[in-house]
Amino acid sequence: MQLMENKSRVAQFILLGLTSDPALRTPLIVIFLFVYVITVVGNVGMILLILLDSRLHTPMYFFLGNLSFVDFCYSSAVTPKVLSGLTLGDMAITYNACAAQMFFFSAFATTENYLLASMAYDRYAAVCKPLHYTTTMTTGVCMCLMIGSYVCGFLNASIHTANTFSLSFCMPNVVHDFFCDLPAVMVLSCSERRFNDLVLICVGSLNIFVAFVVIWISYTIIFISIVKRHSASGSHKAMSTCASHFSAVSIFYGTIIFMYLQPSSSHSMDTDKIASVFYTMIIPMLNPVVYSLRNKEVKSAFMKIIFKAK
């Protein structure tokens, strides 16, 4: 990190935020605080629910618990700083803090990418190989998939953070976003960055491609298996077990592909801000809501905890 600091001509960055209109500051604080509270309560609540109810000690909920943890972490890497900036009016962030925010956000967002792929494989095993499910999704397999997801996430974050902060940054130091996102910081560099852009696109594409192919193949086989079934009730049950996960996948990848798989020079900062709000704040809030509303076992476990509390 010291080497990176020596290459830089700036000691801090200024986060431009979402708007320069003071009249919008209070409404944004209220909205973002509400979203963050729901995110924390929803994801932490989901984790506790899975831990407390033995009926949810299955591979599907093991991955869902990790997904909730990751959602909580990558939302927390961004939202508190946004709220403090809006409240205090201080949008400055130090060089090291910017690098740290970028690292942890990238790490947990990429981990979610691979967790979603692991969950797709789990759904494939449950729907298409039900008789072999317990021998396929063993504790060892689940642990390997989970650990592999975190390793890939933190390795990817290390590459991207080093790739970005190996550049020289000159004045102006204003980041046209509300957090230190990769494209928004890279465009501030006064270095030649064609190679760095290429690294961003290639590494990002590889991560998304690998996970997306696993998800696409899993759901293609699941869909074919469901179509071949003659039992309407069996098909409905199989679809219902996959619906929540497929919804989360669609929302996550739609936004990520839009944001990262284009050169930084092609980015529209205003459009990127809207997309950034969606995947940094809204998606982590939506995931526990989607899974809790569409999943009978989660609702049943929640009601059981409520009645025990009474």
The per-residue pLDDT for 30 is 93
What's the pLDDT tens digit per position in 226-254?
A: 877 656 555 565 566 666 667 777 777 77
CATH number at residue 127: 1.20.1070.10
Note whether 114 and 208 are within 8 A (CB). no
CA distance 146 to 84: 33
Percent of the chain with pLDDT over 70: 80
The candidate with the shortest Cα–Cα distance to 47, out of 34, 61, 29, 26, is: 61
Question: What pLDDT shows up at residue 9?
Answer: 66
Residue with tokens 């729907």: 127
Structural domain count of the chain? 1
Does pLDDT of 305 surpass 80?
no
In degrees and rounded to multiples of 5, residue 103 shows phi and psi of -65, -50
- Please enumerate, as own/partner, the contacts of 136-139 that have beta carbons within 8 Å and a separation of 24 or more: 137/59
Q: Which domain holds residue 37?
A: 2-309
